Amino acid sequence: MSRTYVVTGSASGIGKATGELLIEQGHRVIGTDIRDADIVADLSTAAGRDHLVQEVTRVSGGSIDAVLAVAGLATPTAATVAVNYYGTIATLEGLRPLLLNSPNPRAVVVSSMAAIFPPDETLLNELLDGSEAKAMARAAELEASDAQQSSVIYGTTKRALSRWIRRQAPSQDWAAASIPLDAVSPGVVYTPMTADMTNDAASRAQIAAMAPMPLNGFFEPRGVATLLTWLTSEDNAHLCGQIIYIDGGSDAVLRGDLVW
């Protein structure tokens, strides 16, 4: 049966591949992005997030079947915090009322295997249990510091996002409302986001050392899209707060026995 899906980050990479796959499967896709989308909205700002919710409400007529929060940034900047964490949460919370009108609502976000790298603890704590103002101030501090410190911004946003999913998924808002809420954590996927890391042999070797992927290595966005479409299909009725590492084995190699 045809369903209505909202995909953020629909203009490029994993979001684009997911939208295309859903349309091939016969579904309606409302794509949103900062450019080239059905709904153009900037998830780094409060106004952009409000605009997204208002426009999806208008375009959908007030009912959607799934939210796929894919949009993200991987720059060593405070904007990455605004988009990856606050933009994603605003998408999920803002569109949740529309999901309640679906007989089989689903929600999924794209986190990252980078969530397992050591985070900035101050930023992580502010994201999970502090205030947005203080988190953004800490992010600005990291952005202004050296390359090593600013490089942890991305992984920290994804660690916080994965933990937010774990906390929220079993709650009244999600599980008790019959909405499976889960995340996928990809390894290295060939998209514009990773082009600089995968363009030449030296860069590929460097990134492969950080993110070992013994099962088939770096891969195309369609591989993630297939999992995202299943997680938001009617078939997924019982996964709750799961962070699924679709990473060619990075998590199994790096965390081994720590996770079971």
Ligand X SMILES: NC(=O)c1ccc[n+]([C@@H]2O[C@H](COP(=O)([O-])OP(=O)(O)OC[C@H]3O[C@@H](n4cnc5c(N)ncnc54)[C@H](O)[C@@H]3O)[C@@H](O)[C@H]2O)c1
Residues designated as active site: 154
- Measure Cα distances from 171 to 14, 86, 87, 178 in Å: 28, 19, 20, 10
71 is a site residue for ligand X (CB under 6 A): yes
In the range 22-61, which residues lie near ligand X by CB under 6 A? 33-35, 42-44
- Measure Cα distances from 162 to 17, 24, 94, 98, 181 in Å: 22, 29, 18, 23, 11
95 is a site residue for ligand X (CB under 6 A): no
Residues 6+ apart with CB under 8 A from 55: 32, 39, 41
Tokens of 222: 């369609």
The nearer residue to ligand X, 155 or 180, going by C-beta atoms, is: 155
Least spacing, CB of residue 112 vs ligand X, in Å: 4
The nearer residue to ligand X, 14 or 104, going by C-beta atoms, is: 14
Least spacing, CB of residue 98 vs ligand X, in Å: 19
**Strand order across the 243-246 sheet:** 39-40, 28-33, 4-8, 66-69, 106-110, 181-186, 243-246
Q: What is the residue type of 128?
A: L
- Residue 82 contacts residue 48 (beta carbons within 8 Å): no
Q: Could you tell me how many helices (H) and strands (E) the chain has, helices first?
A: 12, 7
The nearer residue to ligand X, 9 or 104, going by C-beta atoms, is: 9
In the range 185-244, which residues lie near ligand X by CB under 6 A? 186, 188-189, 191-194
Least spacing, CB of residue 101 vs ligand X, in Å: 25
Q: Which of 3, 4, 5, 11 binds ligand X (CB under 6 A)?
A: 11
Least spacing, CB of residue 129 vs ligand X, in Å: 23
Q: Which of 6, 29, 70, 90 binds ligand X (CB under 6 A)?
A: 70
What's the sign of the alpha-carbon dihedral 168, 173, 177, 182?
negative
Least spacing, CB of residue 96 vs ligand X, in Å: 19
Q: Which of 6, 21, 53, 74 binds ligand X (CB under 6 A)?
A: 74
Exposed (0-12), middle (13-18) or buried (19+): which is 117, by Cβ within 10 Å? middle
Least spacing, CB of residue 242 vs ligand X, in Å: 16
Q: Which of 3, 6, 9, 65 binds ligand X (CB under 6 A)?
A: 9
Q: Which of 5, 13, 21, 64 binds ligand X (CB under 6 A)?
A: 13
Piece of 13-21, 55-63, 125-133, 162-170 that binds ligand X (CB under 6 A) = 13-21
| Per rule CB under 6 A, count of chain residues that contact ligand X | 27
- Distance in angstroms (rounded) separating the CA atoms of residues 215 and 234: 29
- Distance in angstroms (rounded) separating the CA atoms of residues 89 and 109: 9
- Residue 246 contacts residue 184 (beta carbons within 8 Å): yes
Binding site for ligand X (CB under 6 A): 9, 11-15, 33-35, 42-44, 70-74, 83, 110, 112, 186, 188-189, 191-194
